[in-house]
Structure 1
Amino acid sequence: MGPESQPERARRTHRTNWMSLLCGLLFIGMGVRYLTGPDPDAVIMAPVLVGGLGFAAFVAILAKAIRR
């Protein structure tokens, strides 16, 4: 029995979870920033974190609305 006689398997895909992807990239970016130089000011990084999480939520809501 060769590969020609095996039934074709349907390829299964899943939708991208934009919230998880963008939040992960944000935290990786912030971690790299803390590791590669002088410590950034927490007064600057806190709004960047909150704004980044808000942007990720906004993109996730838009993606969910577009899918429907």
Structure 2
Amino acid sequence: MARDPERRPRQIHRTDWLALLCGLLFVGVGIRYLIPPTPDPVSILLILVIGLGFSAFVAIIAKAVRHR
């Protein structure tokens, strides 16, 4: 099997921090609802809002550092 000398170099994808952290947040909330006792919906909503805000903050910082 001969190697192609004109192969494209391997592309590296940057981490999408917003998607990663939001996904982890929602998975965590889903797991929390599976474990008794069921949490108060208002406290979960507060945790979601704070978590999404933190995720957006991390994504903004990562984008600013990446463009330097």
Q: Please state which band the TM-score falls in when normalised by the shorter chain.
A: 0.7 to 0.9
The alignment covers a number of residue pairs equal to: 66
Q: Which runs of 5+ in 1 are unaligned?
A: none
Runs of 4+ in 1 over 6 A off after TM superposition: none
TM-score by length of 1: 0.87
Pairing 1:31–2:34 present: no
> Higher helix share goes to which structure?
1
Root-mean-square deviation (Å): 1.3
Q: Percent identity?
A: 58
Shift in Å, 1:6? 3.0
Shift in Å, 1:60? 0.2
Q: Which runs of 5+ in 2 are unaligned?
A: none
Deviations 1:2-50 (A, max 9, x none): 24x4325411111111000000000000000001222101121111010
Partner of 1:50: 49
